[in-house]
Structure 1
């Protein structure tokens, strides 16, 4: 528990620094929140009342304290544009992108890791060349082009899957999977290519280790050497990459969500920035940063599973 305890303690100062950074950067955005909330009339009395209500007439440290108190109580503020609590918007949009990102990561793992293992074990053969060509194609293919190509093929020509839209998972899980499989594949395709390259590199390094040669000298079968010994030790950098890529998908799937008309978290962030919706920007960025930290903590827990030495704090 020493290893996990250290990671949990590190979250506290990190969260504090992130909250200060988010609040500080918010002040750099152009425009005056009070003028935005006052509307077109901009009555001086109304503006003064808004400043007092939202503590905008207070010094920045005082405003930060009020904001943190609200965050700790679950109040992320209210959207200036549509007058809806930010917490409500997050609850509505985040599960959509979480489902999309989760499916994309699963697709990436199922493609990237086996391809990387095969490429490393079959180094210098046709299998290695084919895996590297697939990885190069995945990295080089633009998401918007692949998305439109998949829509044309599976939605228009074959009529197997819907071209756009989203169905909540709890409403109809079959329709939900059908509406998200194409955008999830588009996102997972590029990540699979990156995972393949990292898995191949890590496997090649591990396969040259002394303990692998010892395992082979003891007469262990090649599948046992590759899967039980080599792959387990090569997974550590892959786990790190997977956690970071999942966090990136939460805020970086904007283009794919636009192509497939998926009302996700990325679109919410972009709309908030363009509309100068300050409370939404703060709340969404804070949730995104916190999710990154949670994913890194999960990655640390996964390290403990694949590397038992970390359980003793070593």
Structure 2
């Protein structure tokens, strides 16, 4: 076994990360299922109305499977997940997968656009923060502190009021204007919510980039590269190569922040994503849709963390050697 690990450290690392991801996913499924069951209210009453009879409510609970012991409900739900069945949403009148999938696609579009903006913000602020100019460094630090301290829902409200209500530069909500489906219209609708989600993650990545660049420039690496006759552009490539792995790790972690912020931002900008779906499903006491949505969000976070870990190790070979020491 030790021989295999030493010959294939990267493959062994991937197996370990995937095994950890599976364990985390099982733990998330357990927590999500039992936490959702703690939400106050009776789904049968929400579906049938307050004027329904006790017999009708009892029959509805039996239809929903809520009359069975909680562990039996969990085993049935887990068995359905294995076969790709997230359950049936009686509030929406169709299976939960059909309800969650369109919302997931919209949230993914928002998340990808927010991640791109966060990377752009990180590169700009990170380079400003590592500048030799003291004024530029101070300005970068102030902007980072502001971006990190501003709540995403507050930023979303400010952007909505300023750029849609006052200036009327961007549309107020949704993903498309009525009857319009071109890419330009979609991007104009995504820009403000993506910006609201990207400021804090971008500032966090900027700090990571700034720290990595300053550490690399103060080390013996740069003088040795210059002594070997490398051009300034080649030296810069080595600087960024050392700075990229920490940025990837921070970006993967910040995905959780963006997914959490989407709960507020999607509702503020009326985007039909997972965040808006969760809020609506909680109001309807739709257990199946809530637990399916929360589970999908958690699994996305686990997958992104795992991929970020693998990408970081692939870029930096030193981590492969340290992983099995």
Q: In the alignment, what sits opposite 1:93? A: 103
Residue 285 and residue 95 in structure 1: after superposition, are their counterparts in 2 closer, same or farther (change >3 A)?
A: same
Q: How far apart, CA to CA, are the structure 2 residues paired with 1:157 and 1:274?
A: 32
How far apart are 1:99 and its partner, in Å?
0.9
**TM-score, length-scaled by structure 2:** 0.84
Out of 151, 157, 166, the residue aligned to residue 175 of structure 2 is 166
What is the root-mean-square deviation of aligned Cα atoms in Å?
2.7
Contact 2:198–2:258 (CA<8 Å) still a contact in 1? no
Q: How far apart, CA to CA, are the structure 1 residues paired with 2:27 and 2:250?
A: 23
Q: How far apart, CA to CA, are the structure 2 residues paired with 1:158 and 1:237?
A: 38
Q: In the alignment, what sits opposite 2:254? A: 245
Out of 263, 269, 277, the residue aligned to residue 268 of structure 1 is 277
Q: In the alignment, what sits opposite 2:67? A: 57
How far apart are 1:236 and its partner, in Å?
2.2
- Alignment of structure 1 residues 10-25 onto 2, 5 Å: 10-25=20-35
Q: How far apart, CA to CA, are the structure 2 residues paired with 1:114 and 1:177?
A: 22
Q: In the alignment, what sits opposite 2:311? A: 302
Out of 91, 107, 110, the residue aligned to residue 120 of structure 2 is 110
Residue 60 and residue 105 in structure 1: after superposition, are their counterparts in 2 closer, same or farther (change >3 A)?
A: same
SS at match of 1:28: coil
Q: How far apart, CA to CA, are the structure 1 residues paired with 2:39 and 2:152?
A: 30
Mark the runs of 5 or more structure 2 residues left unpaired by the alignment: 1-10
- Alignment of structure 1 residues 1-314 onto 2, 5 Å: 1-120=11-130, 122-123=131-132, 125-144=134-153, 146-151=155-160, 154-155=163-164, 159-167=168-176, 171-225=181-235, 227-310=236-319, 314=324
How far apart are 1:80 and its partner, in Å?
4.2
Q: How far apart, CA to CA, are the structure 2 residues paired with 1:286 and 1:145?
A: 26
Contact 1:107–1:188 (CA<8 Å) still a contact in 2? yes
Contact 1:80–1:278 (CA<8 Å) still a contact in 2? no
Q: How far apart, CA to CA, are the structure 2 residues paired with 1:83 and 1:160?
A: 38
Contact 2:92–2:99 (CA<8 Å) still a contact in 1? no
Q: How far apart, CA to CA, are the structure 2 residues paired with 1:44 and 1:154?
A: 52
| Structure 1 stretch displaced more, 148-157 or 159-168 | 148-157
| Structure 1 stretch displaced more, 71-80 or 98-107 | 71-80
How far apart are 1:96 and its partner, in Å?
1.2
Task: Tell me the number of residue pairs that the alignment of Structure 1 and Structure 2 aligns.
Answer: 311
Residue 145 and residue 248 in structure 1: after superposition, are their counterparts in 2 closer, same or farther (change >3 A)?
A: closer
